[in-house]
Amino acid sequence: MWQRPVPLVGDVSAASQRAADPQGWAFPPEQREALYAVMDARRDVRRFRPDPVPAEVLERVLTAAHRAPSVGHSQPWRFVVVRDAAARERAALMADRERLRQAAKLAPDAARRLLDLQLEGIREAPYGVVVCCDRRTAAAGVLGRATFPDADLWSCACAIQNLWLAARAEGLGLGWVTLFDPAELAELLGLPDGVVTLGWLCLGWPDERPPEPGLQRAGWSRRLPLSEVVVEDRWPAAEAPSAPVSHLRAPDQAAVVTARDAADRLLTPPSSLGVLDRTVDKVVALGHRELAPGTLVLAAADHPVAGLGVSAYPTEVTREILAAAAAGEAMGATAARAAGLALELVDAGVSGPSVAGVTRLTCQDPRGDLAGADAMSVRDTEYLMAAGRELGGNLGVRGPVALGEVGVANTTVAAALAAALLEVEPHAVVGLGAGADSAILERKRAVVDEALRRARRTHGGTLRDPMVALAALGGPEVAVLAGVVLGAAAARSVVVLDGLVTSLAALVAVEIEPAVAACLVAGQRSRERAHELVLTQLGCEPLLDLRIRAGEGVGACLATTVLRQALAIRATTARVNY
Ligand SMILES: Cc1cc2ncn([C@H]3O[C@H](COP(=O)(O)O)[C@@H](O)[C@H]3O)c2cc1C
Ligand SMILES: O=C(O)c1cccnc1
């Protein structure tokens, strides 16, 4: 056994310690009780004694405030400590005026109660602490604020809460007054543009020791029972459509943590293999410490939309590639062989006689070109998906399942389906495909645009249903592959995705059964436009980024090899002693 290298910085705990004692990070019981007691006894204090507060006490509570969590560690708070009596007097006057303005807008009873509120604290307390938020940093530049632009304000609110609890523990009173016109208060303190306040905190020794919240005492409100504020899993709405019944379960938390803990024991810095480590953790959590040989499922189909001039190649190419794959010579077939994967060929609707060695699935109903009519009937879509599910289940128990497709014009189909599922504009999803020129690109955009408008007219809101979207704007190979993903995931197999079309099939499967996501490995980011968006929607980071645009599962095969090697590395690298 090798010694575990204990880092000089960061977390020194070992996975074994955490596993043996998950509660080992807790404080001793009496300290915990003290914390809860302080929280319980925190009050909004309105009456203050004039006695001075020692500078070191003020510094302690401000330090507590400054230890608050902040978005992207941005520490946006600034504390303006107002001691000057004249400034406090002016602030009190502002609050008094604001109280009258607000009361004028209320019903008489509520107005009376508002007027009863005591604001003398601003005058009485030796300190006014005005908590400001410096918002001059662009939200996009702060980790976590691009998505929640107000997170800087919440950070400041956390600082106030810290200050408040510390004050209570010190025996100080604190009252948070927001009855101000924010612009007036900002002007009083000379705040520059972009710095806003969260109100005025009166701070000093309390001249009241309220056992319960003042507004509750005054009959204004009461504390709600916990059961009224905690809901399980999702907001309980009477008429909201219930989530579809899910049958699949992702690996439980214990499996996920065990996989990560095992990785922690390797003689290497934690997560040194980056995306690969995350992917291996996912695969190990599924129960695979190594990959059995596995299969590439290559599904092929023709697309009537090819007739609208959206591909650089004629429809017949699909059949030729399928035949070449059956002969073991198409690039998907050679890539599968190089990766040690068996090849399973599915003809989901390619014109002409059947190709030897290929499983043929035949649709019953007419097919459409998306712009004028639905791609497939729901009945055929269900049939194709069910066949894929069975295939995926059978192959999934044997090893990893890599996905590949061939179908001239299927990047147009994929763009239309992606636009519908992701609710984005056609220009965001239409890409070059197998080599479009600008005239083809323009037609592709127009066709996707028309297809979306037609499908929305025909199906309305139900287009959000993945089966409806798949039938309206998808294609047979997408339906089969979505089924393969569902079947393989039910067998707890690893599913390795290739380019845009296979990833969309996975997205359809995830929309039907969210737990499928736990089985997915994004093999690569292809050059096709919408692929990145779809991978983001799947929450998957791709293993390879090689500008591949081969289709046929070539990228998935390459990625499977990388994944196989990563698992071997994980299995055989030295473990450390701990
Ligand atoms: C010879 C050849 C082999 C292929 N193998 C996969 N694709 C890839 O290109 C097609 C999609 O591109 P688009 O939507 O522009 O038609 C699909 O068959 C896809 O698998 C191929 C394309 C060609 C020409
Ligand atoms: O996204 C892909 O994998 C892709 C791109 C171009 C052509 N065929 C497939």
d(CA 487, CA 483): 6
Instruction: Find out whether the beta carbon of 528 lies less than 6 Å from any atom of ligand 2.
Output: yes
Q: Give the nearest ligand 2 atom to 414 CA.
A: 1
Would you say 204 and 234 are in contact if contact means Cβ atoms under 8 Å apart?
no
Q: Which amino acid is at 418?
A: A
3-state secondary structure of 241: coil
Q: Give the nearest ligand 2 atom to 432 CA.
A: 6
Distance 465 CA to ligand 1 centre (A): 28
Name which residue sits closest to atom 5 of ligand 2, judged by CA.
549
Q: Give the nearest ligand 2 atom to 499 CA.
A: 3
Of 347, 346, 378, nearest in space to 364 by CA = 378
Name which residue sits closest to atom 9 of ligand 1, judged by CA.
434
Number of the ligand closest to the Cα of 531:
2
Name which residue sits closest to atom 3 of ligand 2, judged by CA.
499
Q: What is the pLDDT of residue 256?
A: 83
Instruction: Find out whether the beta carbon of 531 lies less than 6 Å from any atom of ligand 2.
Output: yes
Instruction: Find out whether the beta carbon of 117 lies less than 6 Å from any atom of ligand 2.
Output: no
d(CA 277, CA 316): 42
Q: Give the nearest ligand 2 atom to 548 CA.
A: 3
Task: Please state, as a whole number, how many other Cβ atoms lie within 10 Å of the Cβ of residue 279.
Answer: 26
Q: What is the pLDDT of residue 90?
A: 93
Question: How many Cα atoms are found within 13 Å in the side-chain-facing hemisphere of 342?
Answer: 12
Backbone angles phi, psi at 202, to 5 degrees: -85, 130
Mutating to test ligand 2, I would choose from 528, 533, 544 the residue with most ligand atoms within 8 A of its C-beta, which is: 528
User: Do β-strands 127-134 and 195-204 pair in parallel, antiparallel, or remain unpaired?
Assistant: antiparallel
Would you say 142 and 71 are in contact if contact means Cβ atoms under 8 Å apart?
yes
Would you say 313 and 410 are in contact if contact means Cβ atoms under 8 Å apart?
no
If you search the block for the tokens 């809901």, which residue do you land on?
231
**CATH class, 275-572 region:** alpha beta
| HEC per residue, 290-344 | CCCCCEEEEEECCCHHHHHCCCCCCCHHHHHHHHHHHCCCCHHHHHHHHCCCEEE
Query: For residue 348, what are its two tokens?
Result: 């989901």
Instruction: Find out whether the beta carbon of 411 lies less than 6 Å from any atom of ligand 2.
Output: yes
Domain boundaries, the chain: 34-215, 275-572
Q: What is the pLDDT of residue 138?
A: 82
Walk across the sheet containing 495-497 and list its strands.
359-360, 342-347, 295-300, 401-406, 495-497, 520-522
Q: Give the nearest ligand 1 atom to 408 CA.
A: 16
Q: What is the pLDDT of residue 241?
A: 56
Ligand 1 neighbours by CB, cut-off 6 Å? 311-313, 317, 321, 405-412, 433-434, 436, 550-552
Q: How many residues does the chain have?
A: 578
Would you say 205 and 125 are in contact if contact means Cβ atoms under 8 Å apart?
no
Distance 49 CA to ligand 2 centre (A): 74
Q: What is the pLDDT along the chain (578 residues), one digit of tens a residue?
A: 788 888 899 999 988 889 899 999 999 999 999 999 999 999 999 999 989 999 999 999 999 999 999 999 999 999 999 999 999 999 998 998 888 888 888 888 788 777 777 777 899 899 999 999 999 988 888 888 888 999 999 999 999 999 999 999 999 999 999 999 999 999 999 999 999 999 999 999 999 999 888 777 766 677 888 988 898 888 887 665 555 566 788 888 788 888 888 888 899 998 899 999 999 999 999 999 999 999 999 999 999 999 999 999 999 999 999 999 999 999 999 999 999 999 999 999 999 999 999 999 999 999 999 999 999 999 999 999 999 999 999 999 999 999 999 999 999 999 999 999 999 999 999 999 999 999 999 999 999 999 999 999 999 989 999 999 999 999 999 999 999 999 999 999 999 999 999 999 999 999 999 899 999 999 999 989 899 999 999 999 999 999 999 999 999 999 999 999 999 999 999 998 76
Instruction: Find out whether the beta carbon of 434 lies less than 6 Å from any atom of ligand 2.
Output: yes
Rounded to two decimals, the ipTM of the complex is 0.95
- The pTM (predicted TM-score) of the whole model is 0.82
Would you say 370 and 409 are in contact if contact means Cβ atoms under 8 Å apart?
no
- The C-alpha torsion from 263 through 268 and 272 to 273, rounded to 10°, is -70
3-state secondary structure of 172: coil
Q: Give the nearest ligand 2 atom to 555 CA.
A: 3
| HEC per residue, 84-116 | CHHHHHHHHHHHHHHHHHHHHHCCHHHHHHHHH
Would you say 319 and 352 are in contact if contact means Cβ atoms under 8 Å apart?
yes
Mutating to test ligand 2, I would choose from 311, 477, 500, 557 the residue with most ligand atoms within 8 A of its C-beta, which is: 500
Distance 434 CA to ligand 2 centre (A): 7
Number of the ligand closest to the Cα of 477:
1
3-state secondary structure of 80: strand
Distance 550 CA to ligand 1 centre (A): 7
d(CA 41, CA 353): 81
Mutating to test ligand 1, I would choose from 315, 408, 432, 442 the residue with most ligand atoms within 8 A of its C-beta, which is: 408
Q: What is the pLDDT of residue 578?
A: 62
Q: Give the nearest ligand 1 atom to 332 CA.
A: 5
Distance 435 CA to ligand 2 centre (A): 10
Distance 441 CA to ligand 2 centre (A): 14
Name which residue sits closest to atom 2 of ligand 2, judged by CA.
499
Of 565, 553, 561, nearest in space to 299 by CA = 553
Number of the ligand closest to the Cα of 311:
1
d(CA 13, CA 578): 10
Mutating to test ligand 1, I would choose from 315, 317, 477, 557 the residue with most ligand atoms within 8 A of its C-beta, which is: 317
**CATH class, 34-215 region:** alpha beta
Query: For residue 541, what are its two tokens?
Result: 């980071």
Number of the ligand closest to the Cα of 405:
1
